[in-house]
Structure 1
Amino acid sequence: MIAGGNAMMLLCLKFKSMKRTLFTLTLSLLIALTACTKKDAIKPVSPTPISSETTIIELNNREVYYNSGALAIDVTQDGRYDLVVGTQLVGDPLYQVDKLQFLVTSSFHTNLAVNRFEQSPVLNHADAITAHNMQPYEWYNASEIQLMQRSNFVNGDVRWDGLWLQRTRKYLPFQAVKADGVYTGWLELTTDYNRQSVIVHRAGIHKQPNTTIYAGL
């Protein structure tokens, strides 16, 4: 009877040992799976690559504000300025208001997409910019468009307005005109009325004429 009891005790101990081993293996497997899941969850997303057909001009987040001086940009890198980002202070004695305007001006050989209100579209990342008119906007050279405006009234009131008011990393379309056609491009801008400035991030222009480019790409 004692021998039989010892045998039963040994069997129980072996069974408990097997259960502990199985539990340890299961726990190890769960830890491994959890680690894999966490690793997958924090895997960084690769940024969208720039098209090899686009020439990028880094403008180093240049900030343009009143009295900072204008930023002239040679996008085509031919020694001539294509676009100018700047400000202009205009007094209106009739309505007794001073207007601080934030502007983009194009050269004679550079087109801006302009509507009847002298505005240019606010494009999102990957929006298409074509060599044709982008209704209701049409391409005009030697143009000046207003991004945003601060109006200071004689009674002390201040009002901000503009299609480009308070935009973050949006794209202004343009075309550079050359002998072999038009080269589509974009200018990446942020407008901030709290800082009373326009931040110019970078520009891009297609390497081939008469070809659609996609904003930011």
Structure 2
Amino acid sequence: MRLAVINPNSTVSMTEKIAEAARIAAGPGVTVEARTCAGSPPAIQGPEDGDLAAPHVMAEVRRAEAEGADACIIACFDDTALAEARAAVSIPVIGIGEAAFHAAMLLSPRFSVVTTLSVSVPVIADNIDRYGMASACARVRASEVPVLDLEKPGSDARGKVSAEIARALAEDGAGAIVLGCAGMADLAAELAAEHGVPVIDGVAAATGLARMLVALGPSAKPTRKEHPCPAS
């Protein structure tokens, strides 16, 4: 199985971190091919960055299919260009945000999201609403950590994320935490142990989902055919 993991931003160190998380989650028998969107902003922080990254994501998704990938993961928590990518190719395309929300709902009736900056909160909240998961999400919270601080050795990014998780558990009634940035992928296990609740990394969740969809074979291929609603 070949899995293309696409980092919508242009920061190579983040691509490498994402790829490592995907390889650990994928296990044996899966080749993870990591791709960086070199023409994109260095971080996706808000809808404007997402709009700039979208054409590069689309190009990488199409290239992945042409080169024989069995599935694609879009490794930005905003699920950048996800709907458009699914409509453009015939292989499964999974966003790490949507995958993480599904995983959280299987683990707890209520979850909170801890993301980076406040500018990302409306995008994530809108996605949760469009996916039909708003009733399960207690709150989308910003730790006020710039995305690239997650790549800086010695920054206080981890401490800020952990403090926001503690506030979510105390104030939101959440039984699970979703990490709202692909750059947090290496923090999930440590933060879960620290706080004693499931802490979900969307890269790992999307990788597991991709394996499942590919294993299902042709029945899991996306369809562009419109199905009429049944008569009431």
Category of TM-score, reference length = shorter chain? under 0.3
TM-score (norm 2): 0.24
- TM-score normalised to structure 1 length: 0.25
